A = this chain, B = another copy of it.
Amino acid sequence: MATTQSIIYVCSDAVGETADAVVRATIRQFSNDNVKVKRFSHIQTEEEIDEILNEVSNSFGFIAYTLVQSHLRKRMQQRAIKLKVKAVDVMGPMIQAYIDTFNDSPKPEPGQRQVLDEEYFKRIEAVEFAVKYDDGKDPKGLLLAEVVLIGVSRTSKTPLSIFLAHKGIKTANLPIIADTDPPEELFVPTDRMIIGLTINPAHLLKIRTERLKALGLPNKAKYASIEQINKELATADELMKKVNCNIINVSERSIEETAGLILKMLQDKS
């Protein structure tokens, strides 16, 4: 275990999001809660690289970098060896595999991150869509969505919608409420895929009880009673049968896992 602060330095001539993602996934593989990530974005000169390497060599850490510009990449490699600093090239091996396999060359200009292409705008639009049509706010969203998530309160509809939106998928969600009819838009046939999110009653009870505690509300509220939960889940069950949708139990799944299953369903459908 580290006795001084452990630091992973993310260095990029773009924003550094990709290297950051891999660094965080790496950190999750270990038990040390005390690793800091320090990011240097938009690196433009070899002098900046030299300065960063000097800092790292005097600290307790290593570098994860994505450098598209080859002179910066070379500088990083050479100086890291000289100063005995570990520097991991996050994208290099994959770019090489791409070149070798598809016999293609990378675009000559640096900073592809800035390309605000069609996919980028599709993603932005999908995020705005998900926010706009969250929680059944406007039933029109049910007609326009590619994916509609239905489920009782606290089945992770909102974060899931946002996660799918980040993949460019227009997602709306609708809460299932006992003794309340869903909007008729849910029954109009469209090309959308409806997904029912279900959850084990005991698990939901725990989540809702904690939710009330976090909100500073008494935990005897009907919202967090097993009777109410069973009633709501029965309503949900009935509705999901009626719309004949795919059902995912979210009890033991993270958002990204559930989203992974939905992406797979969409992939299989198309």
* Chain A interface residues (CB < 8 Å from chain B): 1-2, 6, 8, 15-18, 21-23, 25-32, 35, 39, 41-42, 60-62, 64, 66, 68, 86, 88-91, 93-95, 97-98, 100-107, 112-116, 120, 124, 127-128, 130-131, 134, 156, 158-159, 162, 165-166, 252, 254-257, 259-260, 263-264, 267
A94 to B86 alpha-carbon distance, docked (Å):
10
Q: Which residues of B contact A257 (CB under 8 A)?
A: 15, 113-114
A-B contacts besides A18-B21, A113-B257, A162-B165, 8 pairs, CB < 8 Å? A18-B22, A23-B94, A28-B112, A60-B102, A62-B100, A113-B254, A114-B252, A128-B158
Q: Which residues of B contact A88 (CB under 8 A)?
A: 93-94, 97
Are B116 and A254 in contact, with the CB atoms below 8 A?
Answer: yes
**A159 → B minimal CB distance (Å):** 5
The reply to whether A131 and B162 contact each other, CB–CB distance below 8 Å, is: yes
The count of identical subunits is 2
Nearest residue in B to A100 (C-beta to C-beta)? Answer: B86
* Pick from B16, B106, B128: contact of A29, CB under 8 Å: B106
Taken together as a complex, chains A and B put the C-alpha atoms of A134 and B127 apart, in Å, by 12
Give the residue among A1, A30, A31, A32 with the most B Cβ atoms within 10 A: A30
Residues of B within 8 A of A158 (CB): 127-128, 131
B94 touches A22 (CB 8 A): yes
Bound complex: CA A15 to CA B167 (Å):
14
Q: Which residues of B contact A2 (CB under 8 A)?
A: 102-104
A2 to B86, CA, bound (A): 36
Closest CB of chain B to A135's CB: distance in Å? 8
Check if B124 sits within 8 Å of A159, measured CB to CB.
yes
